Copies of this chain bind each other. A is one copy, B any other.
């Protein structure tokens, strides 16, 4: 706890890596690129899951579970999708170990236990799911099919970072089937909205909603809708995507339905997902040089009470008094921890909860007892205030809302000041290189230009924003005419 965190201004990347470990969120494991999500980090994921799951169910989706493995012949059925993931697949080839005759006490792969067909550990589940949907969909009455799955997936990434890019990660993946193109499009846009609402209202992380360019689309999708957030180092984070898959998977897996008119039609599809990467986004949006800053709506502990005492009697008096307040706060649905440990001093506890981003800290000492007060400190601004014990429940309840709002506003302000419209390529390069952030610029719509800009600046088109004014202009790189600006940034 005592070791100091690297400052963001010194080395943002180092700051992030240290923070994730020091705040007890996650750590690297013995398996290359795979992380261990520690209880405190997992508690944030549980809070995210609960809200997202509720939102999915409110929009008519049900959960199910599909196999971890995809037989190679199914995996390769939708060619673009297969091509997109082929280079980063964990592949199961054998199903048995045996004692190693050359190394007593050790095991080796049993060469006689080779699978006839290799199994791919799912990097995403379209293939196995659409192969299943074939059996579930016969008639228009079976549609829409609105299913979500909470699962682990594996993508053999070469450069990994805790939460942001790991070989195994946890996510949810929605997979829906519809009778018409219109319905499927509406579904994929609806889920983009759900993600945006979640990001902004719960994570307090403002996002730009838009569509991906063809080269940035999900492999196998006709359209990818995305939400893009801006981190404090001026880099963008793709926080969630929702894909309109057209009839690509229906055709690859021959999934047809009989329409009301008795005709055989291919089904239309969507898929959409967010992952434990969101935790990385949450950290990088709000946290500071003192540690994690968590929005109250996703904080595993919203309020911590630290008694400042000498001797057991004082502790007991404080605990008795605080017990009433703890119960009242909990009655309001607020999660509270009373930290009466005698193995740590108040100062160490303050530092610990600062590092762990607990939104509100209440300190109470012997003098407070006499004055019927407590000291309330907020994590986002470090402001402290003395509050009467009679008012503290209402005060804290209001304060949590205020912190949630303040974090969003602060992130929104940061994004506003770090979104720049540029009209020349010199300015483009300069802004990307020095100021960073989002750059709104005209683009001629060609993949060639997109690639060139990426090559020269490392900035990519994050999205074609949903909400953008049509505006005549010229491509920042080629000078060709363009009707709207798109959003560029360097990205995670």
Contacts of A27-53 to chain B: CB distance below 8 A: 27, 29-31, 34-39, 42-43, 45-46
Closest B residue, CB atoms, query A46: B63
Contact B88 A91 (CB under 8 A): no
Q: How far is the CA of A63 from the CA of B39 in the complex (A)?
A: 6
Complex contact A36–B97 (CB within 8 A) = no
A214 near B: Cβ within 8 Å? Answer: no
Q: Is the contact region of chain A dominated by helix, strand, or loop, or is it mixed?
A: mixed
The B-contacting residues of A in range 133-161, CB under 8 angstroms, are: 135, 141, 147, 151-152, 154, 156
Residues of B near A75 (CB, < 8 A) are 97, 107
Residue A86 CB within 8 A of the other chain: yes
Is A92's CB under 8 angstroms from B79's CB?
no
Q: Is the CB of B120 within 8 A of A74?
A: no
For the complex formed by this chain, how many copies does it contain in all? 2
Does A267 have its Cβ within 8 Å of any Cβ on chain B?
A: no
Q: From B64, B91, B93, give the contact of A42 (CB < 8 A).
A: B64
Residues of the B chain whose Cβ atoms lie less than 8 Å from the Cβ of A135 = 27
- Flag whether A186 is at the interface (Cβ < 8 A): no
**Whole-angstrom distance between the Cβ of A292 and the nearest chain B Cβ:** 17
Complex partner residue of A64 from B36, B98, B154, CB under 8 angstroms: B36
Q: Are the CB atoms of B65 and A42 closer together than 8 Å?
A: yes
Say yes or no for A105: interface residue by CB 8 A criterion: yes
CB–CB A121/B92 < 8 A: yes
> Given the complex of chains A and B, what is the CA–CA distance between A42 and B38 in angstroms?
26
The 3 closest A-B pairs by CB, nearest first: A39-B62, A34-B67, A86-B97
Known: A30-B132, A37-B65, A91-B109. 6 other contacts (CB 8 A): A29-B67, A31-B67, A39-B64, A46-B63, A91-B96, A109-B118
